[in-house]
Amino acid sequence: MEAFSDGVLAIIITIMVLEMKVPHDSSFAALRPLLPVFLTYILSFVYLGIYWNNHHHMLHAAQHVSGAILWANLHLLFWLSLFPFVTGWMGENHFAAMPTALYGVVLLMAAVAYWILQQAIIARHGRESLLAHAVGSDLKGKLSPVLYIIAIFAAFFVPWIAGALYVLVAALWLVPDRRIERALAARKEPVS
């Protein structure tokens, strides 16, 4: 499951670049309309990097797989697979209201899908499991959807606020999920 998920994420992150259409003109000016697409590409690249990173840590902590986990994982990959589409649409339309809101909807649905996957893994491993402790109160996981929802509404009034919120949430998550790393390390410690 990890190999398949890694493959899908690697492909999503790479085909996104195909939305930056090569301009026919060779002047510097020909690059200017591509700037918003490029900025959106960077943002989506960072988000997919965060998902790959945390997803990777979470699957490592999971020792058992069930049908529910498999489909929760495919559900997450489904929403992540829409990244190239919404990235291209938001970038091409220079952060217009509708595409900016839709970008937030896909971010929100991916966050919800990640949360479902996390719950499915915890349910399979028990409330006393490593992952359950590692996740803990999951402040960042609860704050992100709230910020996405605010951003979706903001997109229709002041689009740059939506953009700023997307950048803010990415910055919050940029730190890799040390909670699981720490819990894993803690499990190994009491050797003496």
The residue written with tokens 């992540």 in the block is 80
Q: Which is nearer to a copy of itself, 23 or 136 (CB)?
A: 23
Q: Which is nearer to a copy of itself, 70 or 150 (CB)?
A: 70
Tokens linked to 145: 């959807």
Torsion of CA 15, 159, 51, 43, to 10 degrees: 50
| Number of other residues whose CB lies within 10 A of the CB of residue 48 | 22
Q: Which is nearer to a copy of itself, 6 or 112 (CB)?
A: 6
- The answer to whether 53 and 177 are in contact (CB under 8 A) is yes
Please tell me what DSSP assigns to residue 21.
P
Sites of contact with a copy of itself (CB under 8 A): 3-4, 6-15, 17-20, 22-28, 31, 42, 45, 49, 52-53, 56, 67, 70-71, 74, 77-78, 81-82, 84-85, 88-89, 92-93, 96-99, 102, 174-176, 178
CB 44, min distance to a copy of itself, A: 11
- The answer to whether 40 and 167 are in contact (CB under 8 A) is no
CB 83, min distance to a copy of itself, A: 9
CB 115, min distance to a copy of itself, A: 20
How many whole angstroms separate alpha carbon 183 and alpha carbon 136? 11
Q: Which of 144, 76, 138 is nearest to 110 (CA)?
A: 76
CB 113, min distance to a copy of itself, A: 13
Q: Which is nearer to a copy of itself, 134 or 146 (CB)?
A: 134
CB 15, min distance to a copy of itself, A: 7
Q: Which is nearer to a copy of itself, 127 or 188 (CB)?
A: 188
How many whole angstroms separate alpha carbon 77 and alpha carbon 10? 11
Q: Which is nearer to a copy of itself, 146 or 156 (CB)?
A: 156
CB 139, min distance to a copy of itself, A: 18
Q: Which of 7, 96, 88 is nearest to 52 (CA)?
A: 7
